[in-house]
Amino acid sequence: MKSAVIVFPGSNCDRDAAVALETMTGQAPAMIWHKDASLPDGLDLVVVPGGFSYGDYLRCGAMAGNSPIIEPLKAHATRGGYVLGICNGFQILCETGLLPGALMRNASLHFVCKPQALRPDSANSAFTSAYAGTSEVSIPIAHHDGNYFADKATLDALEGGGRVAFRYVDNPNGSARNIAGILSENGRVLGMMPHPERAIGGHEGGADGRGVFESLLGAD
């Protein structure tokens, strides 16, 4: 699997993502600076990593969502390439319109950083098939703005279309309908607040995030 990680000023999970991708796919990803005007040819997966792109100026993901690399990212998604947005990456994908809704300040106003129990909600997607039969996983969260918001019609469409990938057990941030991660309409784009790249085994503890990458390796 050929992958790339987009790096913005203020990204801080780009190297975690790179280690996870290399560990899980056996191939180091291309690290792509956000000002690049194109992505390498033949990519299967682009990861938009976590962090604080542009210092969260204006709104989380607002500046990054208008970076030069976003047009090629949209083209990649449109032609059916996989996109995984994690944490700030999820916020950025919402800003670009690749995913619906928005991530707002946590209802508690607190930054939340802890292992989080999740329920894989749609185990037949390219990102979640490895979780079939798994009722609960633990994947770390670390965010201040993870409170997912969308209007009722959008939430109904997400649920009706099997596009909620993960839900929180004990909602940590006020997200609508306990949503922790959602899929695009064509199922090729996943945005999620929890960090699967921090849960692939090893010193950080926990390996429940491996399923996201294992699912992708088994996907078309």
Determine contact, residues 43/4, Cβ cutoff 8 Å.
yes
Q: Which is nearer to other proteins, 54 or 131 (CB)?
A: 54
CA dist., res. 201 & res. 207, Å (int) = 4
- Would residue 13 show up in a list of annotated catalytic residues for this protein? no
* Residue whose CB is less far from other proteins, 168 or 213: 168
Q: Is 2 in the site for other proteins (CB under 8 A)?
A: no
Between 45 and 104, CB nearer to other proteins: 104
Catalytic residue among 76, 143, 144, 195: 195
Q: Do residues 89 and 146 make contact, with C-beta atoms less than 8 angstroms apart?
A: no
Identify each DSSP E strand in 160-209 by its residue range: 164-168, 179-183, 189-192
**Is 197 noted as a catalytic residue in this protein?**
yes
Least Cβ distance, residue 107 to other proteins (angstroms): 5
- Tokens of residue 208, six digits: 């429940």
The encoded tokens of residue 15 equal 């190297």
Smallest separation, CB 50 to other proteins (Å): 19
Phi, psi for residue 181 in degrees, rounded to 5: -160, 140
Active-site residue set? 87, 195, 197
Interface ranges with other proteins (CB under 8 A): 58-59, 62-63, 66, 94-95, 100-102, 104-109, 147, 149-151, 174
